[in-house]
Structure 1
Amino acid sequence: MSGGLVAYAALLGGLAGLAAPRVGRRWTARPASKRPGSATGSGALAGAAVGAVVFAGLAAARGDDPALPAFLGLAAFGLVLAVVDLACLRLPDPLVRAAALVVVGGLAGAALSIGAPERLFAAAAGAALSFAGYVLLALLPGSRLGFGDVKLAAVLGLPLGWLGWSPLALGLLLPHLLNGVVVLALLAAGRVRRDTPLPLGPALLAGAWLTVLTA
């Protein structure tokens, strides 16, 4: 994999992560602070670091995949979605729909470029299975899964289905393992209680990202 491509992707990811808190502010209830060194500025710097790592990882792992633009586009929206979900436990429909359009367009272009339109059926099947599975989880008694999580899972099912059935299964399982570890750590540290609502969106996104890296 070209080091230049990875470096360029890291730069793009840094810029996307830097912009994520500002873009996400539209959907959060917290007013923007304009003081230097404020939480907003710290969040932007943290987002830039996360974005650089996310984009560089995708470029290093999938640089020869024609679907890389779709993965990067989804990652850009994922950074904003994670910011919003962490701030106010929301996954806004406009952001989720825009992410879906970017992924569908990117995967369609990739399928045409390699002459394999059947890969789109696999992606669609991945989205449908993800949606159905998370709907069932959301309807379980006592479930705290929101339908924003269900919709995001369906969108993430598109690139996971593109990669195959094994990545799809891992991408569905891994977020819950990651979220479980985070919840246990927060409980042990006394930061949350058993009934404290916590966002699942970041775990869904992180699980999909790790799956794409290892597929």
Structure 2
Amino acid sequence: MSPLFVIIATAFGAASAAFLPRLAHRLAVGYADTPRPVCADCLRPFPPGHSGWVRVGAACSCSGGYAVPVIAGATVAAVLAVAVGPSPELPAYLLAAVPGLLLAMIDMHCLRLPDPLVGALAITAAGPLAVLHPGRVGASLVAAVAVLTAYVILAFFGGLGLGDVKLAAVLALILGFAGWPAVFLGVLAPHLINGPIALFMLVTRRAGRRGPIAFGPALLVGAVLGLALQQA
């Protein structure tokens, strides 16, 4: 693996993530609410048009640093570059990481996974992968349906939202192109990740016993781990 190749992928992940804080800030609202028109901290209105959405750096001039999403974007891109290597699949994974990171940021702020972004994640990754590997489409669809069914049952008994169910199915669809081991790892890892987090928040009283905890970030991290371990 060429170090320059990994550096380029990492730079792409960091650069694309630098545009996400304002998008996440404006979209981190309730299901029935429109995108936030003003900054939640200083109440300054966002400019009209694309300038109100496109901004490199913090969500607003009053906000603090934006190192966390940039580091997260760079890390995910580097892991994908090392795991997948210089293959035709890598651009699809790198592009899909952008809406994936945005979903994680929104879910952490307001426990919401907007359907349009989940759909964008599916189209960005599953579309190119289906063109590259048409023979794996059937297995990917089976994986998506199986995970969707399992998560619907989990949601019925509580603990998961419908957004989590939809995202899990989309991630299973994407991982299905890498093989069943990636699907199993991608489904198991989020629960191993969120279990200790839920226990920590319960012990520190940051969440009640029945209080909701964002599960989207764990699903997305689990998918990256599943893909990376499958390729290892």
Contact 2:14 2:70 in 1 (8 A): yes
Aligned to 1:82: 104
TM-score computed with the length of structure 1 as normaliser: 0.88
CA apart distance, 1:109: 3.1
Contact 1:82 1:201 in 2 (8 A): yes
Aligned to 1:50: 72
Contact 1:13 1:51 in 2 (8 A): yes
CA apart distance, 1:159: 2.2
For these two proteins, the number of residue pairs brought into alignment is 204
- Greater helix share, structure number: 1
Matched, 1:183 2:198: yes
Secondary structure of 1:163's counterpart equals coil
Comparing 127-136 with 184-193, greater Cα deviation is found at 184-193
- Runs of 4+ aligned residues of structure 1 deviating over 6 Å after TM superposition are none
Identity of aligned residues (%): 44
Task: Report the Cα distance in structure 2 between the residues aligned to 1:186 and 1:144, rounded to whole angstroms.
Answer: 15
CA apart distance, 1:187: 2.1
2:167 to 131, 152, 168: 152
TM-score computed with the length of structure 2 as normaliser: 0.82
CA apart distance, 1:89: 0.5
Unaligned runs of 5+ in 1: 112-116
Contact 2:122 2:174 in 1 (8 A): no
The residue identity in structure 1 corresponding to 2:144 is: A
Task: Report the Cα distance in structure 2 between the residues aligned to 1:127 and 1:64, rounded to whole angstroms.
Answer: 27
CA apart distance, 1:35: 4.0
Aligned to 1:210: 225
Contact 1:71 1:159 in 2 (8 A): no
Contact 2:103 2:113 in 1 (8 A): yes
Alignment of 1:60-209 (within 5 A): 60-111=82-133, 117-140=134-157, 143-209=158-224
CA apart distance, 1:87: 0.6
